[in-house]
């Protein structure tokens, strides 16, 4: 005969024992050891090659060796494609901006809530952080969509735009850091996010224009990996308590200065590119004028 109260108490005791076991450090350690053991044990490996070379699959040992060699050939081909893609200076400059700006953008987005809490503690104010995030995402999407309707020669003016708009982003970060007003922080954060989405859309378009479709994943993945690597270094140095471990305000001063450096570098590069293009254009016009004069003389 089952007694309801006794059955319930036994179930409760079992649940408590399971909870105690799960909270103990020995339980996850044991699971990890078991997983590590079975992930390294490969009982089928001694039988794999005989199976593939047997009558079922009818593969030769030479084909097996070729299959292993094909992996190294794929890696070698990826490296060749990588070098060929980044041999273009234009693509390299746009990719460098992508990696650096995405790193700074991710750092800002990851720690903006901490800055807002510092400027205006949530227990003293009705916060609108979620609404600001939603509005900034919507405006950023509208900005990225609207840039497609502009007719600008980004191959000529793009680097100058990268430098100028990155400078505006740096100014927004500085204002956000020193204003001390939550509404100013909200507004400057929205501006900063729109500027980044505007520029990353242009960068993606310019990079994709110089690539075949098969190489999109390689270049975009390499740029994203570069951004992640930079972000890891900055976090380890600036945020981690084992290194500088700076408070939130000095952190954002560093982020704003970081975008200022990006702005200066690409402004100088953009001015150089525009001046070079104008000089080439003048030389071409002068050459065309001389050729037209020679043609006129030959007519007479």
pLDDT in tens, 135-186: 998 998 888 888 877 777 777 787 888 899 999 999 999 999 998 888 999 9
Dihedral angle of Cα 56, 57, 59, 63, to the nearest 10 degrees:
-160
Is there a domain that residue 287 lies in? no
Is there a domain that residue 161 lies in? yes
DSSP state of 247: -
pLDDT at 260 over 90: yes
CA distance 275 to 229: 34
Is there a domain that residue 90 lies in? yes
Say which residue, 227 or 20, is predicted with more confidence.
227
Please identify which residue in the block is written with the tokens 């003389």. 297
Query: Average pLDDT over the chain, rounded to whole?
Result: 78
C-alpha 45: how far from chain center: 39
Give the confidence band of 2 by pLDDT, cuts at 50, 70, 90.
very low
* Tally of domains in the chain: 1
State mean pLDDT over 94-103.
92
Is there a domain that residue 293 lies in? no
Task: Name which of 65-79, 93-107, 224-238 the model is least confident about.
Answer: 65-79
Say which residue, 126 or 202, is predicted with more confidence.
202
State mean pLDDT over 74-92.
82
Q: Write down the pLDDT at residue 131.
A: 87
Phi, psi of 121 (to 5 degrees): -55, 140
Is there a domain that residue 75 lies in? yes
For 207-240, what is each residue's pLDDT tens digit?
888 787 778 888 888 899 999 999 999 998 988 8
Give the confidence band of 83 by pLDDT, cuts at 50, 70, 90.
confident
Range of the domain at 182: 71-266
Q: Write down the pLDDT at residue 241.
A: 81
CA distance 95 to 83: 13
Please identify which residue in the block is written with the tokens 């005791």. 13
Is there a domain that residue 239 lies in? yes
State mean pLDDT over 264-270.
90
Task: Report yes or no: 264 and 163 within 8 Å, Cβ to Cβ.
Answer: yes
CA 222 → CA 211, 216, 265, distances in Å? 14, 10, 21
pLDDT at 206 over 70: yes
CA 182 → CA 45, 250, 254, distances in Å? 62, 18, 20
Tell me the helix, strand and coil percentages in the chain, rounded to 5.
Answer: 85, 0, 15
Q: Write down the pLDDT at residue 250.
A: 92
pLDDT at 39 over 60: no
Q: Write down the pLDDT at residue 11.
A: 57
Give the confidence band of 44 by pLDDT, cuts at 50, 70, 90.
very low
pLDDT at 280 over 60: yes
Above pLDDT 90, what percent of the chain? 25
State mean pLDDT over 4-26.
58
- CATH classification of the domain holding 159: 1.20.1250.20
Q: Which of 244, 221, 245 is nearest to 78 (CA)?
A: 221
């Amino acid at each position: 005969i089952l007694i309801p109260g006794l059955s319930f108490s036994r179930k409760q005791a079992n649940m408590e024992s399971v909870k105690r076991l799960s909270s103990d450090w020995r339980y996850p350690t044991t699971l990890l050891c078991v997983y590590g053991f079975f992930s390294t044990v490969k009982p089928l490996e001694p039988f794999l090659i005989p199976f593939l070379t047997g009558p079922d699959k009818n593969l030769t040992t030479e084909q097996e060796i070729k299959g292993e060699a094909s992996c190294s050939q794929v890696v070698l081909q990826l490296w060749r494609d990588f070098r060929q893609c980044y041999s273009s200076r234009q693509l390299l400059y746009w990719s460098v901006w992508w990696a650096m700006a995405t790193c700074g953008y991710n750092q800002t987005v990851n720690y903006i809530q901490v800055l807002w809490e510092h400027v205006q503690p949530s227990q003293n104010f009705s916060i609108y952080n979620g609404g600001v995030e939603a509005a900034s995402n919507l405006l950023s999407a509208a900005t990225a969509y609207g840039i497609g309707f502009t007719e600008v020669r980004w191959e000529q003016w793009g680097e100058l735009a990268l430098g100028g708009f990155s400078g505006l982003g740096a100014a927004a970060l500085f204002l956000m850091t020193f204003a001390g007003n939550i509404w100013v922080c909200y507004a400057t954060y929205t501006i900063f996010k729109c500027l980044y989405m505007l520029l990353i859309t242009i960068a993606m378009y310019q990079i994709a224009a110089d690539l075949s479709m098969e190489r999109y994943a390689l270049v975009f993945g390499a740029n994203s990996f570069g951004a992640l690597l930079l972000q890891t270094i900055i976090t380890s140095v600036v945020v981690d308590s084992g290194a500088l471990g700076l408070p939130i305000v000095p952190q954002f001063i560093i982020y704003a200065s970081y975008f200022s450096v990006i702005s200066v570098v690409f402004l100088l590069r953009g001015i150089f590119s525009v001046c070079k293009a104008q000089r080439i254009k003048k030389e071409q016009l002068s050459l065309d004028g001389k050729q037209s004069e020679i043609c006129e003389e030959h007519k007479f």
